[in-house]
Amino acid sequence: MSRLLFSDGTRGRSLLNMQELAGPNMPKKSPVFDGLALSCGLLFGLFIASTPVMACPSSCHCIEKSGMTVVQCMSRNLEKIPSDLPRDTVVLLLASNHITHIPNHAFSELHYLQEVDLSNNDIETVDVGAFHGVSDSLLFLDLSNNNIQSVPKEAFARLRAKISLSNNPWHCECTLQEVLRELRLDPETVNEVICHTAVQEEYAGKLLIQVLDSGINFCNFHHKTTDVAMFVTMFGWFTMVIAYVIYYVRHNQEDARRHLEYLKSLPSSSQISKDFDTISTVL
């Protein structure tokens, strides 16, 4: 601001011309006032020039490259994503650290973010809202070479970014299959997404894309497993009901038998009548 106002004296000449046009009756400013105004302007310009455009985390290195803010935090032994990233960050490099978790709204304040590199970390979990706020701006996301086994189906929802998921110990099942439907896999790394484990052991160690291309539907296995579980549960309940009915019948039969034996042990009415006649005769 100070260079625009004072570097070539343009503003001073304009004020001088105004005074000349106004004539001798216009009061002129004192040299002391002009000097004070010039000093204040210079100080203000120096203050603006010395104010940083962005605040860079102490563990990172921030540079301007082709008009874009690049934040380089690679190999800094970070255990979590810095929370004080510059808001004008376009490229964020966090590779080769010890980050284990991507929390909700990790990048929600970075509205210009286009590229995130989180490769070669120890990431195990990705929260549902991890990429909220950057779904429209993000163009590339690298999550390769981590410890991710599964992710929530909604984690990559509405992301337009090209995503690398290679070299993770994926557990191939219905949720992962549905996740892949919602995202754009990096075509250069699609053949590096391998089923470390699977709902069917026969698919462990195989390329996920090949398994899916062969017509395998992991969600069908999920439904079949659910059906079997429901059948086992219903069979258990049915067995319990049958057992209770059998117990109830047997218990009632035992009570009926005891009651019958009790009735049989009672003297009959004819025997009582004979005994009564005998007593009468004696008397």
Q: Which tens digits make up the pLDDT trace of 247-280?
A: 766 667 666 677 666 666 666 556 555 555 555 5
- The mean pLDDT value for 72-82 works out to 97
- The mean pLDDT value for 159-175 works out to 95
Residue 163 pLDDT greater than 70, yes or no: yes
Q: Report the pLDDT value the prediction gives residue 265, as an integer from 0 to 100.
A: 67
CA nearest to 123, candidates 94, 90, 153: 94
Q: Report the pLDDT value the prediction gives residue 91, as an integer from 0 to 100.
A: 98
- The mean pLDDT value for 183-188 works out to 92
The CA distance from 225 to 228, in Å, is 5
Residue 44 pLDDT greater than 60, yes or no: no
Q: List, in order, residues 6 or more apart from 107 with CB less than 8 Å away.
A: 81, 85, 92, 113, 116, 130, 131, 133, 134, 138
Residue 34 pLDDT greater than 60, yes or no: no
Residue 196 pLDDT greater than 70, yes or no: yes
Q: Report the pLDDT value the prediction gives residue 241, as an integer from 0 to 100.
A: 76
Which residue did the predictor score with more confidence, 73 or 157? 73
Q: How confident is the model at residue 120 (pLDDT cuts 50, 70, 90)?
A: very high
Give the whole-number percent of the chain exceeding pLDDT 70: 62
What is the sign of the dihedral through the CA atoms of 78, 81, 85 and 88?
positive
- The mean pLDDT value for 173-200 works out to 92
Tokens of 201: 């052991």
- The mean pLDDT value for 80-99 works out to 97
CA nearest to 151, candidates 169, 114, 176, 130: 176
